[in-house]
Amino acid sequence: MTTDTNGDEPMPAEEQLTAADTKTVALVTGANKGLGRETVRRLSERGWRVFLAARDRERGTRAADALGAEFVQLDVTSDDSVAAAAETVARRAGRLDVLVNNAGVGGQRLDPADMGADRLRVLYEANVFGPVRVTHAFLPLLRKSGHPRIVMVSSALASLTYAGDPARPESGRLSLDYASSKTALNMIVSQYARALPGFKVNAADPGNPATDMNQHTGMHTVAEAAESVIRLATLDREGPTGGFFDRNGPVPW
């Protein structure tokens, strides 16, 4: 038994658990800054219980404390780190309702002809294998939710339709490693959505937010960029699954 928020009567442990169980539980990867941090802020404002996941313990803890979230150390490229994070969430919350796979890295401005497999492998480890590693580890906790949702943060550069349209700015952006990693991630979304009945699994295009990934040269604020992520994270039971969306609606594959 512990004291209630008014400091008067002790609150029975079973009542505390009941109150905690009513909160939606979410985890956001790569969340100590930029789009991930903004996503945590917006979800926390809804009264959700949010786990802010990041590689750097000091920065992650500082961000979580500032946002009223809970820090969990998680490196999406490490099996051991991801497994430990899943164990931590299981111990603290017992389930997960929403997983936002936000962590990722940007590519270098190289001509595709100059891009070797080693450079490609670096981005795929974080942008493709990372979300699969995290999703696989957290599926047991998501299956304990009555309304599980998974959001994969993708990019308009992943769209083959846009890439083939000379009128679109994405067509003029050559990014063999980054663009192809996000296209692969979109197919992973489609596969999960069809394999996981009862889940809502979608890809979010945040636009081009000004973050460290692009040296803050993007045209959107992180608040604007987070809109598509928040919309998919908060879908109701009638919402779509297996789709690709920006803040204005569906994006063509």
For residue 27, the number of C-alpha atoms closer than 13 Å in the C-beta half-sphere is 33
Options 81, 181, 182, 228, the catalytic residue: 182
Q: Are 185 and 194 in contact (CB under 8 A)?
A: no
- Residue 106, φ and ψ in degrees, nearest 5: -95, 160
78 carries an active-site annotation: no
Options 175, 178, 181, 228, the catalytic residue: 178
Query: Which three-class secondary structure string do you get for 50-110?
Result: EEEEECCHHHHHHHHHHHCCEEEECCCCCHHHHHHHHHHHHHHCCCCCEEEECCCCCCCCC
Options 155, 159, 175, 228, the catalytic residue: 155
DSSP code for 148: -
* Identity of residue 152: M
180 carries an active-site annotation: no
182 carries an active-site annotation: yes
| Catalytic (active-site) positions | 155, 178, 182
